[in-house]
Amino acid sequence: MDWLISLIMLVALEAVLGIDNLLYIAIESGRVESSERTRVQRIGILGAVVMRVALLLLLVQLIQWFQKPFATVNWEGVFEASFNGHSIIAMVGGGFIVYTAVKEVWHMLAGDLSAHAEATTPKSARSAIVALVLMNAVFSFDSVLTAIALTDNMAVMVVSILLSGVVMLLLANRVAAFLKKNRAYEVLGLFILLLVGVMLLSEGGHLAHLTLFGGEVHALNKTTFYFAVSVLILVDLVQSRYQKRLAKAQESASAE
């Protein structure tokens, strides 16, 4: 029964850890032609599953190598760090996510909505798939390391990753359709991605024991991250409902 309990726990955790991955897939696939979106989503999710299984098999063999420092910087009082494979991947991936989120928000603010839609829709399916494959490597690290930490049963780890992939396949279209129908929530999604990027940057800095101007970089706590995301969602929902009530009140006042 121990393997069944571990499997249930892992599937639940993989689903939670896959939310940011699913959100990125939904937003990125929304940049391509509508006829290509489903294919891009499926390739992105299948790529995530394959990447996680491959990474699992690799990390089980090379876990010590990824954690072993290979480059050290010692600029005393200004910049000190000891980089390993895990920290580099987390920081590069986090930086890319922050760049992507800020760029999309900037496009929204710089032009009108029609111009933004025209600018983002024609992205080729190939470039979207490449971006998804690269980001899957980053998102896969947390889920794979979580699996390794919870159990040493390889079959349980592989099955949990496969089941979480099935869940993502079932939810991908719904998330993408929701964002397409409710464009205002795309802004919320981008800011959640921004938080994900900041979390990865802080995690990479923590793993590298990064110190900037005498201050050590600490990893953003996952509980803090989920709390911040919950507050963002709650504020957005309350504001949306309040705006609808204001609009109804203004309509009633105009009618009188």
Spans of all domains in the chain: 2-220
pLDDT averages per 10-residue partition of the chain, 256 residues: 70 67 76 80 80 77 72 85 83 81 77 48 74 75 66 78 78 72 72 82 87 86 81 84 83 75
How far does the chain reach from its first CA to its final CA, in angstroms?
Answer: 68
d(CA 20, CA 196): 7
In a 13 Å sphere around the CA of 246, the CA atoms on its Cβ side amount to 6
Which tens digits make up the pLDDT trace of 113-145? 444 444 445 577 888 888 887 777 777 776 676
d(CA 224, CA 231): 10
- For the four alpha carbons of 108, 232, 146 and 11, in that order, the dihedral sign comes to negative
pLDDT of residue 17: 63
Question: Mean pLDDT in the chain?
Answer: 77
Helix (H, G, I), strand (E, B) or coil at 211: strand
Q: Whose structure tokens read 């990479």?
A: 204
Closest alpha carbon to 26 in 15, 42, 10, 5: 42
Q: Other CB atoms closer than 10 Å to residue 23's CB: what's the count?
A: 19
Torsion angles phi and psi, residue 72, rounded to 5: -125, 135
Edge to edge, the sheet with strand 79-83 lists 71-75, 79-83, 211-212, 215-216
Q: pTM for the complete prediction?
A: 0.64
pLDDT of residue 63: 63
Quick one: residue 77, left, alpha or beta (phi over 0 = left, psi -120 to 50 = alpha)? left
Q: Angle at the Cα of 59 (from 53 to 60), degrees rounded to 5?
A: 95
Which positions ≥6 away from 29 have C-beta within 8 Å? 37, 40, 41, 44, 128, 132, 172, 176
pLDDT of residue 116: 47
Contact 53, 137 (CB under 8 A): no
Closest alpha carbon to 30 in 41, 20, 45: 41
